[in-house]
Chains A and B, each alone.
Chain A
Amino acid sequence: MSEQMAIVTTGLTKSYGAVPALRGVDLVVNKGEIFGFLGPNGAGKTTTIRCLLDLIRPQTGAIRVLGLDPQVDPVAVRARTGYLPGELNLETNLTAEQALRYFNDLRGNRIDWRFINDLAQRLQLDLSIPIKNLSKGNKQKVGIIQALMPRPELLLLDEPTAGLDPLMQQEVYRLLKEARAAGATVFFSSHIISEVEAIADRIAIIRQGVIVEEAEPHQLISMVLRRVRIRFREPVNARPLAELPGVSLLAENELHITVQVEGELDGLIKALAVYPVSDLETERPSLEEIFLAYYEGEKVREDGQNVG
């Protein structure tokens, strides 16, 4: 394995009884990048992450994390990794500080407590409150702090911003970017496209236990469809807009039109310059729509190849 790779999985399969969770996951994450792992619920994101830490064992396939095999040397892998589970559960009778001190003890009591206080301050978390009295969002902050506090080489974060308000989400993005700037690799799962777009250098999409795409976020966005609603100040002939490359008309009346745009909006925006536009709304695609767009594209390509 190259020194430049933080995570490499090859042909990873995992089933829970008769339910296949992973069906041959091949993944490469380079050191020093923020890697977004996208997929709908049940796609296999959590299962993949838990295999990386040897919490569960795949039936077949190989895993290397920071050059180590987690099944052979799990303690060494975990010593260099910070992990935030997707379903975060903490001992409820402890305060946030006691929970963090316990995790610090498990890491040999080597963590700089000033850094923990700094993280708590940035995330606006009162460490003296018992876990049982914390809201879901505040519990998530405890989880984020425990993952970041050892300043690990690799961060494995399963939906890190779940339950956080938008301001805190932005703070978490900043923390992750700072971690990357300090040399860490960040591998995080999400089903929120805007989150991935905001921070990821590269992404992989997993669906039904298989990686269906690896790309940079802008490549992903360019392959998706989005709806644009345009309202005009006066009746216009909007037909020419529908004839632009990648644009198709969905609905129209005298004062507004709705079009579907594939890829970037640049062409449409420039064409609109000559129209009396009073309002313009774009609807970002959901992940499911991206999948649909992606699969429709795949299907068209396959059909084309078959015909050809």
Chain B
Amino acid sequence: MWAEFKHALRRLRGRIIGWSLGVGLYSLMMLFMYDAVLEIMGIEELLAAYPPEVMAFIGVTDIFAIMTPPGYLDAYFFGYMTVIIGIFIVGAGASMLVGDEERGVLDLVLAHPISRASLFASRALALVVATMLILLVCWLCWALPSSQTQLRLTWLEFLLPFFTLLAQLLLFGALALLLSFLLPSARLASMISGALLVGNYLLLGLYRLNDNLEPFIRLTPLYYYQGGQATGGLNWGWLGGVMAVTLLLTTGAWLLFQQRDIRVGGEGGWHIPRLAQAIGLGERPPHTAREETG
């Protein structure tokens, strides 16, 4: 398991470095902008002039809360980092196993003495560690130089929102992983998971403008995302709930992987032709039948 974990993490290193650098530099920039934002003459009037719709979509309900550390963190980082870093985890989750299967690489790996459970656990753990490393760099970029700014929070206060962000990211990563076993391709799983994430983000913005959406938004993960507000303390119920759903999705994916026939290269899209054939919309392409039965 350790060998596969090391290998999976090594494969992710390019993305870890790229995402860490990108989001880390952005974090530094936002940190050092805090003082500048506070010192802007007439900032309060400027903020008040913003349409509420705009503020709602960047995660701010109280317009003047943006001047406080939690509000600033929400508005300039945590409010939309679920979507930004979500791009990474949704893509990596969807291709964690099915991506390799579509490239025909998984066949040979699983012919070695490693159980499916062990392979799944190693790669899932590598994905979690990769996400944590990216968030760790972000946290350090916020926490380490913060004493040079007026954004005065302790290291722990900076850390707590990252737990809520990590939980949300893992949930959408697990969703992408599960969908990759249910849908015809990793790319489609990635697209649908990404669409659900962005849809949830937009719905949350609409909810801030319209309370009538509450019954719907309560069914979505991002409703239970504290973001910058977690600097004041974690909502353990929310965090536990999100983690429980993540565990449920991961267990579902694990069960599907256990029962799965490992496809070989070139069979990536055979579900759709079969479905089309089943409902009489198309004929099975001859090459797919040959590849499957060879």
Taking Cβ atoms with an 8 Å cutoff, the residues of A that contact B are 16-21, 41-47, 50, 53, 55-57, 74-76, 78-79, 81, 83, 85-91, 102-103, 105-109, 143, 146, 209
Q: Which residues of B in the span 243-283 have a Cβ within 8 Å of any Cβ on A? A: 259, 261-262, 264-266, 270, 274, 277
Residues of B within 8 A of A79 (CB): 113
Task: Give Cα A146–Cα B277 distance, bound, in whole angstroms.
Answer: 39
Given contacts A75-B113, A78-B113, A106-B4, contact A47 B293 (CB under 8 A): yes
Taking Cβ atoms with an 8 Å cutoff, the residues of B that contact A are 3-4, 6-7, 11, 103-105, 107-116, 259, 261-262, 264-266, 270, 274, 277, 284, 289-290, 292-294
Residue of A nearest to B259 (CB): A57
Q: Which of B4, B104, B115, B265 contacts A75 (CB 8 A)?
A: B115
Residue of A nearest to B109 (CB): A106
Whether the pair B113, A85 counts as a contact (CB closer than 8 A) is: no
Residues of B within 8 A of A17 (CB): 274
Given contacts A57-B261, A89-B105, A105-B7, contact A83 B111 (CB under 8 A): yes
Given contacts A87-B104, A106-B4, A106-B114, contact A46 B294 (CB under 8 A): yes
Identify the 7 closest CB pairs spanning chains A and B, nearest first: A89-B104, A105-B3, A79-B113, A83-B111, A21-B293, A106-B112, A56-B261
Residues of A within 8 A of B105 (CB): 89-91
Whether the pair A16, B293 counts as a contact (CB closer than 8 A) is: yes
Residues of A within 8 A of B4 (CB): 106
Residues of A within 8 A of B270 (CB): 16
Given contacts A17-B274, A45-B294, contact A88 B111 (CB under 8 A): no
Task: Report 30 cross-chain contacts, Cβ distance below 8 Å, ordered by A residue.
Answer: A16-B289, A18-B274, A18-B277, A19-B284, A21-B293, A41-B290, A42-B293, A42-B294, A45-B294, A46-B264, A46-B294, A47-B292, A50-B264, A53-B110, A57-B259, A74-B115, A74-B116, A75-B114, A78-B114, A79-B113, A85-B264, A86-B264, A87-B265, A87-B266, A88-B104, A89-B103, A91-B11, A106-B4, A106-B109, A106-B112
